[in-house]
């Protein structure tokens, strides 16, 4: 059976349940940005042949509705974020956010980056399991067994994150990144987003103005942020400029919307979480 996953992080969670019983085709591959992705004709062919389409939802794949319609696909669409209490952009912003920054997030945009809270990844695994069993009941025992294994691993991973972040003093539990992709991480693990180089939850946002950057620099200094973080799918130049003007360091890139290619250092969801947490904890306690 062929199924399609919209992006690489979700594909890894699907694979943890499907095992060898399913051929998984990924639309937005490793290292690619799902926000700015432009589908090719081959992606429509893949959708046309698929029995299931696993997608995040919450407008993360803004191009997907058009592609699905054009492909003539009959695949059942499974929005894995359904059932998760979605946060609005700005939800995890620090309490000292100024009025201009608050206004930038007042449009009520929902944050699609649910996987940054490991408990939500567990929800995704359950959604994948149920969908696979429904369309392929013959292999239901394997899907249940694989899902149980994955859920146990993720529960242990969530507990590991909780333990690791205790090393960071509460006043230093602050994040500054390219775009707002860590809202769920902050809400779950006790951090606050001081600001982002680009407003909102998409990397498609327009280049920030000089006034926007000056405001972010002031907030970084005011909050005493020691390190700000680039992202693996975003150009770091704007963030590097903020770091220079604020007099702070740029930490190692965090993995936000994509994995590495197979065989790379961060080629699975658990590796993504471990990399990000290790980078954040090391930078903020160093």
DSSP state letters, 25-48? EEEE-TT--TTS----HHHHHHHH
Across the chain, mean pLDDT equals 92
Domain check: are 125 and 204 in the same one? no
Q: Are residues 25 and 150 in the same domain?
A: yes
Domain annotation covers residue 90: no
Q: Are residues 149 and 21 in the same domain?
A: yes
What gap in Å lies between CA 260 and CA 9, rounded to an integer? 9
Strand partners, 78: 54
Number of domains in the chain: 2
User: Residue 208: its pLDDT value, please?
Assistant: 84
Residues 212, 71 share a domain: no
pLDDT band at 109 (very low <50, low <70, confident <90, very high): confident
Is a pLDDT exceeding 70 seen at residue 82? yes
Domain that holds residue 279: 167-285
Q: Are residues 217 and 244 in the same domain?
A: yes
Whether residue 122 is found in the same domain as residue 206: no
Q: What is the pTM of this model?
A: 0.93
15 and 148, same domain (yes or no): yes
Confidence check: pLDDT of 76 > 70: yes
Which CATH number fits the domain that encloses residue 254? 3.40.50.1980
pLDDT > 60? residue 73? yes
Q: Indicate whether 118 and 176 sit together in one domain.
A: no
The verdict on residue 97 lying in a domain is no
pLDDT digits (tens, 9 = 90+) for 4-30: 999 999 999 999 999 999 999 999 999
Amino acid 91: pLDDT: 67
Cβ-in-10-Å burial (0-12, 13-18, 19+) of 71 comes to: buried
Distance CA 220, CA 15 (A): 40
Give residue-wise pLDDT tens across range 216-265.
999 999 999 999 999 998 888 999 999 999 999 999 999 999 999 999 99
Q: pLDDT grade, residue 99 (50/70/90)? A: very low
Same domain membership, residue 56 and residue 139: yes
Q: Does 253 lie in the same domain as 194?
A: yes
* Residue-by-residue DSSP string for the chain: -EEEEEEHHHHHHHHHHHGGGSEEEEEE-TT--TTS----HHHHHHHHH-SEEEE--TTSSTTHHHHHHHHT--PEEEETTTTS-PPBTTTTB-TT--HHHHHHTTT-PBP--GGGSHHHHHHHHHHHHHHHHHH-GGGHHHHHHHHHHHHHHHHHHHHHHHHHHTTS-GGG-EEEESSS--HHHHHHHT-EEEEESSSSS-TTSPPPPHHHHHHHHHHHHHHT--EEEEETTS--HHHHHHHHHHT-EEEEEEP-S-PPPTTSTT-SHHHHHHHHHHHHHHHHH-
Q: What's the pLDDT at 106?
A: 44
pLDDT tier at 47, thresholds 50, 70, 90: very high
- Residue 216 inside a domain? The answer is yes
How high is the pLDDT of residue 93?
64
Give the tens place of pLDDT for each residue, 133-188. Answer: 999 999 999 999 999 999 999 999 999 999 999 999 999 999 999 889 999 999 99
pLDDT on residue 89: 84
- Encode pLDDT of 188-214 as tens digits: 999 999 999 888 787 666 678 889 999
């Amino acid at each position: 059976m062929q199924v399609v996953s919209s992006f690489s992080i979700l594909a890894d969670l699907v694979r943890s349940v499907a095992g060898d019983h399913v051929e998984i085709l990924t639309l937005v591959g490793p290292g690619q940005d799902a926000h700015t992705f432009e589908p090719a004709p081959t992606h429509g062919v893949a959708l046309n042949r698929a029995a299931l389409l696993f997608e995040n939802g919450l407008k993360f794949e803004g191009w997907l509705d058009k592609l699905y319609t054009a492909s003539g696909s009959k695949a059942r669409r499974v929005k894995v974020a359904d059932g998760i209490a979605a946060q609005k952009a700005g939800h995890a912003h620090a309490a000292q956010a100024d009025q201009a920054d608050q206004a930038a997030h007042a449009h009520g945009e929902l944050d699609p980056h649910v996987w940054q809270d490991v408990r939500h990844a567990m929800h995704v695994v359950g959604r994948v399991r149920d969908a696979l069993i429904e369309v392929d009941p013959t292999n239901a025992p394997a899907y249940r067994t694989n899902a149980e294994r994955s859920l146990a691993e993720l529960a242990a991973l969530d507990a590991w994150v909780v333990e690791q972040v205790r090393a960071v003093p509460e006043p230093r539990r602050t994040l500054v990144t390219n775009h707002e992709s860590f809202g769920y991480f902050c809400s779950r693990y006790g951090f606050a987003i001081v600001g982002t180089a680009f407003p909102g939850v998409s990397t498609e946002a327009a280049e920030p103005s000089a006034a926007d950057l000056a405001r972010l620099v002031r907030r970084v200094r005011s909050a005493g942020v020691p390190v700000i973080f680039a992202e693996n799918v975003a150009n770091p130049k704007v963030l590097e400029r903020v770091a220079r003007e604020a007099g702070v360091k740029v930490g190692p890139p965090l993995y936000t919307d994509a994995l590495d290619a197979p065989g790379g250092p961060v080629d699975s969801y658990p590796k993504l979480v471990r990399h990000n947490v290790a980078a954040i904890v090391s930078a903020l306690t160093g």
